Chains A and B, each alone.
Chain A
Amino acid sequence: MQSRKEQKKFGREKLQRIIEMCMAIENHTVDPFLLDVDDVIRVVKEYFPQWEETDELNLDSEAIHHLASVIKLQSEWVKHRSTSLYTDPFLLEEKITQATKEEMVSVFLGAWHPLVELEQLSLHSIAEAMRYWEALVPLKERWPELAVQEVGMGLTSRDELIRQRILGDKVFSEELECYWQELKEKVAAKGRDGKMFYWDFIGADTYEDTVQRAFLTSFLITYGYATLEIHPLEEEVYIKPFEKPNTKMHTQQSISIPIAVTYENWQKWKRGELD
């Protein structure tokens, strides 16, 4: 036989659980019909005669209060289901997804009665406009003339443009030819089977130089000075120079191969992790 104290403790726990369940329902996380209202009322009734302390009675009234909210939610659900507006959301969603835009518009036009209204100035809009005008900063203050330092006209030299990296120091075709020679020499020295690892060729001491070399390499390949050999499973890319430029490449259907020359990849290459 449980002692009175234990029974009270057990009752309090039960009420606490009921309150938590009701709150979950109120927060729309649980279906309101999962709660057996009769059962809850039976529990509340069963323990009510034992409550003496204020906090026990508070707990009891709190449970009743939450139960009332759940009953309200249940009644709203039933009310909505019984109205002609209720339709199975799934069915309606299906209808919406299946309907074409034209069908949707056609349906909507049958139920749409747009408002007729004439827009004109009202006292409110005039007052609003006046307030706006008064607060508006003059154009001169909003768009002050930009203080650009005046610089006199002058001449620049080719060397200056090269220094500013606007021009290269060689004609592009010459630069490409030199680069091709460099590729051939490197492949002869370090390569195997007439090819070398792509990153070993484009990789340089700085990231900027690496990007510059990758840029030039792309032209070597496009203009038929070299080709790429890709081993997808091993994720390896090799570059292979041609002995003579392959002019047929321009007439064939070409494909683009994107290779990410990111800062992270460059660092990996520097650490020898890309080999």
Chain B
Amino acid sequence: MRKKQRGVYASKMKRATHMLFYRRHQKPGVKGWELHRALGADYPKVLDVLDDYLKSLDLQVKTVFEEEKTPSGKPSLEELNKARFYVTLRGELTPKEPKMMGWRIDDLAGLAVAISYIISKKGQAPRKDVKELLGEKLPGWKVGLNIDRYIRYGYLQQDDNEQLYLDWRTRAEVDEKALINLLLTAETQKSELAGVSEEESEVGELEDE
């Protein structure tokens, strides 16, 4: 890459960083067309460079396509323009870290249950059923409050018929396929976890709060 061209990309990368990290709208993330307008038609390339740079920080540029229509091959510019871009964590959090983000183990477990259950029901489940399921592990008074909280954060959405669906934040943050696979292989994990007693006790500490 020539010196001048490198300078142009560096400046575009800075601009993309500002746009992606600082919230510009009510919801975080930037639409493809906004990046197109600000950075030019080669913005996918700029994002690739930025993504590569963020790798060392354990972050990534995440693309969420419109209406979950992830293209099978290379996405077209039109598809990218309609997509939404976010910066998310690339790797995984340790069991202790959600605490720093204000998540209690109960609430996070409830979120995991609600999301997995809705996925298993083809992306739609009655609130009553989710409530019943959560009620098996969480105190009754907390279940309704938690579901409302997941809705407020954008993980779930609810229609007038009290049906729950996955919302924009789940699509941006949760690898649904991985979640289901991990859940189905949880038996193996259980035995692996048994050896990591130290980590488990850390989770226990959170619960006690």
Question: CA separation between A177 and B193, bound complex, in Å?
Answer: 69
Minimal Cβ-Cβ distance residue in B for A88: B120
* Contact B23–A119 (Cβ < 8 Å): yes
Expressed in whole angstroms, the minimum distance between the Cβ of B199 and any Cβ of chain A is: 8
A113 interface residue, CB < 8 Å from B? yes
* Contact A118–B92 (Cβ < 8 Å): no
Interface pick from B43-51, B73-81, B109-117? B109-117
* Contact B26–A116 (Cβ < 8 Å): no
Residues 114-135 of chain A, each 1 if its beta carbon lies under 8 Å from chain B, else 0: 1111111010100000000000
Q: Which residues of A contact B190 (CB under 8 A)?
A: 103
Contact of B120 among A87, A103, A114, A116 (CB under 8 A): A87
Expressed in whole angstroms, the minimum distance between the Cβ of A118 and any Cβ of chain B is: 5
Instruction: Report, as a range, how many residues of chain B touch the other chain.
Output: 35 or more
Interface pick from A32-40, A53-61, A90-98, A201-209? A90-98
Question: CA separation between A118 and B59, bound complex, in Å?
Answer: 14
Number of A interface residues at 8 Å Cβ cutoff, please give it: 34
* Contact B184–A85 (Cβ < 8 Å): no
A143 interface residue, CB < 8 Å from B? no
Question: CA separation between A101 and B106, bound complex, in Å?
Answer: 7
Contact of B186 among A87, A101, A107, A122 (CB under 8 A): A107
* 19 cross-chain CB contacts under 8 A: A91-B184, A92-B116, A95-B186, A97-B133, A103-B190, A104-B108, A104-B109, A104-B113, A106-B189, A108-B109, A112-B92, A112-B175, A113-B62, A115-B28, A115-B169, A116-B21, A117-B28, A122-B24, A124-B25
Enumerate chain A interface residues (CB-CB to B < 8 A): 80, 84-85, 87, 89, 91-93, 95-97, 99, 101-120, 122, 124
Enumerate chain B interface residues (CB-CB to A < 8 A): 21-26, 28-29, 59-60, 62, 86-95, 98, 101, 105-106, 108-109, 111-113, 115-117, 119-122, 133, 136-137, 169, 172-180, 182-184, 186, 189-190, 193, 200, 203-204, 207
